[in-house]
Chain A
Amino acid sequence: MTTSLTIAREEWRQWRRSRLAMVSMIVFSILLVFTTVLTLIDAQEARHERLHQQEQAEQTFLDQPDRHPHRMVHYGHYVFRAPPALAIFDPGVDAVTGQSIFLEGHKQNSAMFADARAEARTGGFGALSPAKVYHFFLPLLIIALGHGVILREREARTLGPLLSQGVSGVRLYRGKLLALSVLIMILSLPALFSAFVASLSGESLLAGLVLYLGHLIYLFIWAGLALLVSVATRSRGVALGVLLAVWVLTVLVIPRIGVTSASAALPTEGKILTDMRMNDDLRKLGDGHNASDPAFAKLRADTLKKYGVERIEDLPVNYRGIVASAGEEKLTQTLNQYAEKRLTREAEQASHLSGYSWVSPYLAISGVSRNVAGTDLATHHRFLREAEALRYDFVQGLNKAHVEQLSYEADMNRNKGEEGWRRARVDAGNWQVLKDFRFTPDKAAIRVERALPKILALLLWFVALLGAGVYSARRLTP
């Protein structure tokens, strides 16, 4: 052990003496600290703003005066998704999906106002976040420092004396790995910091820990790779070239090819196309605004029979409300059926894409990071589903008020002048059917479970690379 420690200390001495190594470390540290702070501030601001907007939206809804309940169905409501605590580390899909949805009767809207749409387009990799710096760029630093750890001894002709002095290849490998480990532990501090800050705003320790450990393994994979190449090649130029090619392939090329492959293998149709295909189905349902739509003939007969009356005017309840409610129910079933189909397809695409994790540790870690942070596709889908549940609830709540508290007669005469308007309305107390909406991602355990296959892929890479490294180190010759 002491030999390894000496070797590691010697490696650090080398790095400290090299201006290039020091400058690289400093630059990457600054980059990391900078993005950590900026993303932290942005996410916290967004969180406060969205929560505030949510409260405001609820308050305006409740503050509406007495009116016809169906007016409130069309008045609608807004829900906002506040970024989860760990979005300070990985903002994930939030930037491309948008984080607010307008909920209204008879319609499922998409999320609006994605940041990515309004962003200044400057090329490159888009806005930087700590996650991005970890996933994309820290491997480059590890490559720059790590590719030479054994090759330098070889090129300085110190490898021979070292080996002949009884320092085995494995021990040398262990020492170099130790040196890189120290570097990695230092580099991982901002991730730990983000996890800690997130835990202050209520994130579970499990999520923070898994996120931190996942990134640690990821960095170790690159260290393992750099060491392996450093052991197995004869020239630093070649070693760097090989490592760089691996980086370009796994970080830049394979993920994008995975995207194309996922969308080719599991094509989706856009929302508009789905909507238009759905129209045939919807037309069969009848228009909930039109109580005499033939589609509701059976409902009419059943209702009359239920109350034992001949005419809808004699019903103790408002038949127009009954139609609105039944119409909304059938419509929502159809909407949900199509929406679920789309969400399922997207989830399938995502899992197709994450299948590429086995060939690209980058895809694995970025998936883990989004899963655990609660900024992944699955969480977005959960948001859509919860928003839809809220929409259906308040619309049906208003329809219930329509049925029970507004007389059919007043309803029919609602367009007869000012007086008609005044009589066709219900008390504003009915707006209380709107529930508070505070979006929270799944429990940490569920999020971690979702990330499990990718964590497994990372572990496999880690073990394989370390194994191969030790194996080659054992055969190390000057």
Chain B
Amino acid sequence: MMRELRFMFRDKAVWVWLSLAFLFSVLAVTLGMNEISQQRAEIAELKQLDEVEREVVLGKQSDWGSAAYYTFHLTYDAPSDFAFAAIGQRDVSPWKHRIRMLALEGQIYETDANNPDFALIGRFDFAFVATLIAPLLVILLLFDLRSGEQAAGRLRLIEASASSVRRLWWSRAGLRVGALILALCLPLLAAGVISGTAITTLLACAGAVCVYLLFWMGLTLWLTPAIRTGAYNLTIMLGVWLFVCAVIPASLTQIINKSVPLPDGGEIVLVQREAVNDAWDIPKEETYAAFMERHPEWAGYTKWDSEAFEWKWYYAFQQVGDQTAEPLSLAYRQGREKRDTLAGHASFISPATLMQRTIEGLANTDMKSAMAYEIAVRDFHAGLRAWYYPRLFPNLKYEAAEPTNALPNYNDAGL
């Protein structure tokens, strides 16, 4: 074994590829941690501004209706302590919203996005290095293992001196891949310790890297026999890499997207807008009738106190707007969920997909987490309604002192 180790480190190419792997990994986790700390700082600043803002706004109101109309509430999805490893969905899906009591469907699709050029090119995060670059490094470390010895005329000698030919090559390859895994995972573990990631998460991620790279090792050993030249073997493996890492995932996306069509997003917001705007023209009884389907408890409070504008009616038709768009909105959400589930199933035939999804899952930056945040925002909005309705319908007097501490506050747990 020591002999093999010495042997390996005498190979200059091995040094090149291993140091590249280490460099990439260090770079990836550093950039990832930097990004996450920026996101944290932004959330902290937003929270602070939000509090100041709310006090100012609430101080100026004189009834609950305008208080609800003018007060925005910050919601956010704080990055997990492993998010540095995979930015994932956080680059394209919203992770912060400002929500108020109006119809939610008109608000929840707003996105506070980065420069689109950035999302297009993508991140240099650990998930990217592990899923797409590491297999290339495995290939580069192993493609010439046997063909190189063959070309140098040593193959027969080496194989004859080993007790088991298979074990010889597997242990020689295993040593290289093991060193590669170390080079990739050490920076990850260090970053994880600094970020306070749970040790189980780190081990799970490192385990996934092991399994994934051992898969690539097996594939490379299988497809690069000694009877072929190194160049031939490398070309073959490049093709395999391209197929596994690009063509299969892209085809899966295409197939899944085509087989689970989503309702057009614009349609949802349009339906909601029509419902909200029509409400001004239709008899108030109609709006209230639709509203009472969900809130029979306010049935006794719909009498018009005067002919003037009434906030409770206004918010009732905002809710009816959401109710009208609900089937479409639900279909849109379920469609995305279904696409994600299918992608999850499909990942069992696509190792690169499985790897990427595993890391994103561990980092809580997958589609599931993005959807969970959306649900949390929906719940929070429902909470807002539940808080305001008992003040709006019985027409309670506005007390400026109460709201700042009593208003529902969004936190990570939802409400």
Provide the A29-65 mask, 1 if CB < 8 A to any CB of B, else 0.
0010000001000000000010001000100100001
Q: Is B322 among interface residues, defined by CB-CB distance under 8 A?
A: no
Q: Is B339 among interface residues, defined by CB-CB distance under 8 A?
A: yes
Q: Is A15 among interface residues, defined by CB-CB distance under 8 A?
A: no
Tell me whether A71 and B280 are in contact in the complex, defined as CB-CB below 8 angstroms, given that A121-B367, A122-B252 are known contacts: yes
A113 & B356 in contact (Cβ 8 Å cutoff)? no
B249 & A124 in contact (Cβ 8 Å cutoff)? yes
B49 & A273 in contact (Cβ 8 Å cutoff)? yes
The distance from the CB of B220 to the nearest CB of chain A, in whole angstroms, is 14
* A309-367 residues at the B interface, CB under 8 angstroms: 346, 349-350, 353
Chain B residues with Cβ below 8 Å from A268 are 114-115
Q: Is A27 among interface residues, defined by CB-CB distance under 8 A?
A: yes
Chain B residues with Cβ below 8 Å from A415 are 307-309
* A49-90 residues at the B interface, CB under 8 angstroms: 49, 53, 57, 60, 65, 67, 71, 74-76, 78, 80
User: In the complex the two chains form, what is the Cα distance from A269 to B74 in whole Å?
Assistant: 16
Number of A-B contacts (CB under 8 A): 262
User: In the complex the two chains form, what is the Cα distance from A123 to B250 in whole Å?
Assistant: 8
Partner of A248 from the list B46, B133, B231 (CB cut-off 8 Å) is B133
Q: Is B362 among interface residues, defined by CB-CB distance under 8 A?
A: no
Total interface residues on A, CB under 8 Å, equals 93
The distance from the CB of A108 to the nearest CB of chain B, in whole angstroms, is 11
Tell me whether A276 and B231 are in contact in the complex, defined as CB-CB below 8 angstroms, given that A20-B236, A124-B249, A263-B114 are known contacts: no
Partner of A137 from the list B56, B246, B354 (CB cut-off 8 Å) is B246
B356 & A276 in contact (Cβ 8 Å cutoff)? no
* B50-68 residues at the A interface, CB under 8 angstroms: 50, 53, 56
The closest CB in chain B to the CB of A264 belongs to B34
> Which one of A3-11, A140-148, A390-398, A399-407 contacts B?
A140-148
A237 & B249 in contact (Cβ 8 Å cutoff)? no
B266 & A260 in contact (Cβ 8 Å cutoff)? no
| Dominant secondary structure at the B interface | helix
Tell me whether A140 and B238 are in contact in the complex, defined as CB-CB below 8 angstroms, given that A121-B343, A255-B121 are known contacts: yes
Chain B residues with Cβ below 8 Å from A27 are 239
* B98-122 residues at the A interface, CB under 8 angstroms: 98, 106, 109-122
Chain B residues with Cβ below 8 Å from A166 are none
Chain B residues with Cβ below 8 Å from A346 are 115, 117
Chain A residues with Cβ below 8 Å from B38 are 267
Q: Is B178 among interface residues, defined by CB-CB distance under 8 A?
A: no
The distance from the CB of B156 to the nearest CB of chain A, in whole angstroms, is 20
Q: Is B223 among interface residues, defined by CB-CB distance under 8 A?
A: no
Provide the B341-368 mask, 1 if CB < 8 A to any CB of A, else 0.
0110011001011111100100000110
A256 & B254 in contact (Cβ 8 Å cutoff)? no
> Which one of B89-97, B185-193, B379-387 contacts A?
B89-97
The distance from the CB of A252 to the nearest CB of chain B, in whole angstroms, is 6
Chain B residues with Cβ below 8 Å from A109 are 110
A260 & B124 in contact (Cβ 8 Å cutoff)? yes
Q: Is B234 among interface residues, defined by CB-CB distance under 8 A?
A: yes
A276 & B109 in contact (Cβ 8 Å cutoff)? no
Partner of B116 from the list A78, A97, A255 (CB cut-off 8 Å) is A97
B254 & A127 in contact (Cβ 8 Å cutoff)? yes
Partner of A350 from the list B117, B230, B253, B332 (CB cut-off 8 Å) is B117
A113 & B131 in contact (Cβ 8 Å cutoff)? no
B45 & A273 in contact (Cβ 8 Å cutoff)? yes
B136 & A244 in contact (Cβ 8 Å cutoff)? yes
A273 & B117 in contact (Cβ 8 Å cutoff)? no
The distance from the CB of A426 to the nearest CB of chain B, in whole angstroms, is 14
Q: Is A168 among interface residues, defined by CB-CB distance under 8 A?
A: no
* A230-258 residues at the B interface, CB under 8 angstroms: 236-237, 239-241, 244-245, 248, 252-253, 255-258
Q: Is A453 among interface residues, defined by CB-CB distance under 8 A?
A: no
* B215-269 residues at the A interface, CB under 8 angstroms: 229-232, 234-236, 238-239, 242, 245-250, 252-254, 256-257, 260, 262, 264-266, 269
Q: Is A221 among interface residues, defined by CB-CB distance under 8 A?
A: no
Could you say which of A95, A124, A353 has the most chain B C-beta atoms within 10 Å of its C-beta? A124
A123 & B356 in contact (Cβ 8 Å cutoff)? yes
B111 & A98 in contact (Cβ 8 Å cutoff)? yes
Chain A residues with Cβ below 8 Å from B231 are 147-148, 236-237, 239-240
Chain A residues with Cβ below 8 Å from B347 are 122-123
Q: Is B174 among interface residues, defined by CB-CB distance under 8 A?
A: no
Chain B residues with Cβ below 8 Å from A253 are 24, 124, 133
Chain B residues with Cβ below 8 Å from A255 are 121
Tell me whether A114 and B92 are in contact in the complex, defined as CB-CB below 8 angstroms, given that A240-B234, A277-B49 are known contacts: yes
A276 & B46 in contact (Cβ 8 Å cutoff)? yes
Tell me whether A112 and B265 are in contact in the complex, defined as CB-CB below 8 angstroms, given that A20-B232, A252-B133 are known contacts: yes
Chain A residues with Cβ below 8 Å from B366 are 121
User: In the complex the two chains form, what is the Cα distance from A283 to B59 in whole Å?
Assistant: 13
Q: Is B148 among interface residues, defined by CB-CB distance under 8 A?
A: yes
Chain B residues with Cβ below 8 Å from A296 are none
User: In the complex the two chains form, what is the Cα distance from A53 to B264 in whole Å?
Assistant: 10
Q: Is A433 among interface residues, defined by CB-CB distance under 8 A?
A: no
Return 18 A-B CB contacts under 8 Å, by A number.
A24-B235, A78-B266, A80-B266, A102-B106, A117-B93, A120-B339, A121-B343, A122-B343, A124-B249, A125-B250, A126-B250, A237-B143, A245-B20, A273-B45, A275-B98, A346-B115, A349-B115, A350-B115
Given contacts A71-B280, A123-B245, A259-B124, 19 further A-B contacts (CB under 8 A): A71-B277, A97-B116, A113-B109, A113-B265, A114-B113, A118-B265, A121-B89, A121-B360, A122-B356, A123-B131, A244-B140, A256-B121, A260-B31, A272-B96, A276-B53, A350-B117, A353-B121, A377-B116, A415-B308
